[in-house]
Copies of this chain bind each other. A is one copy, B any other.
C-alpha cells in the first residue's frame, strides 16, 4: 500500500533529523534511526538505496519547510523597515532550521567520505532555483529597487553571506550549546543590516 509506505518514509526522515540534532552524526546510526522510527533496520533499505540517500532526503525535507516559509519574503519588500523584515526572517529561520541545521552543517566535513559525489549534488540542490538563498536575494533586489538598500551590493552574493553568517552564529561552538534567543537574533540583524541599508530606510536613523 502506498499510504503505509509514505508513512514509513516520513517516520524515517523525521527520525533521522531528530537523531542528528540530538546525538550528532555519529548517533544517527541505522540502528538508532530504525528504532526511533519504529521499524526494523532492513526496512530502511526498502525506501532508500543507502544511508546517504536517507540523509539527503532528510536534508531536502528540512529545506522544503524553510523554503516554504521564505517564499513569501520577496513579496513583502517595502512593507516594513528592512531591519525589521530581516529580523523576522532570521527569527523564523532560527526556529525552522534548528532541527535541520546540524544535518546541513555536518555535510561538508562529516559526510564527505560517506558521500563523495553526492555532496556536490546536495549543495547544488541547496543553492538551486527556489532555495532560501535565491529567495533572500530576490528580496534584497526588490529592496534595492525601492532604494532602501545600497545599490552597489550584489544581491546573490550578499544573500549567501548573510545566510552563511547567520548559520555560523547559530551553530558555532563559541555561542554555547543553548542556541540563540530573540535578543541575539535582533542584535545580529541590527549589526549586519546597518551595512546594507541606505538613508531612505526608516529604521536607518535609529
A35–chain B nearest beta-carbon distance, Å: 14
A25–chain B nearest beta-carbon distance, Å: 5
Quick check: is A53 within 8 A (CB to CB) of the other chain?
no
Number of contacting residues on A, CB 8 A?
A: 54
- Report chain B residues within 8 Å CB of A146: none
- Contact sample, A vs B, 30 pairs, CB 8 Å cutoff: A23-B112, A24-B110, A24-B111, A24-B112, A24-B113, A26-B110, A26-B112, A26-B113, A27-B112, A105-B105, A105-B173, A107-B173, A108-B177, A122-B173, A123-B173, A123-B174, A126-B174, A133-B174, A158-B187, A160-B174, A161-B169, A161-B188, A163-B172, A164-B172, A165-B165, A165-B168, A165-B169, A166-B168, A168-B168, A192-B192
- Report chain B residues within 8 Å CB of A196: 191, 194
Quick check: is A88 within 8 A (CB to CB) of the other chain?
no
Q: Could you give, for residues 52-77 of chain A, a 1 whenever the CB lies within 8 Å of some chain B CB and a 0 otherwise?
A: 00000000000000000000000000
A105 to B119 CA separation, bound complex (whole angstroms): 17
Quick check: is A127 within 8 A (CB to CB) of the other chain?
yes
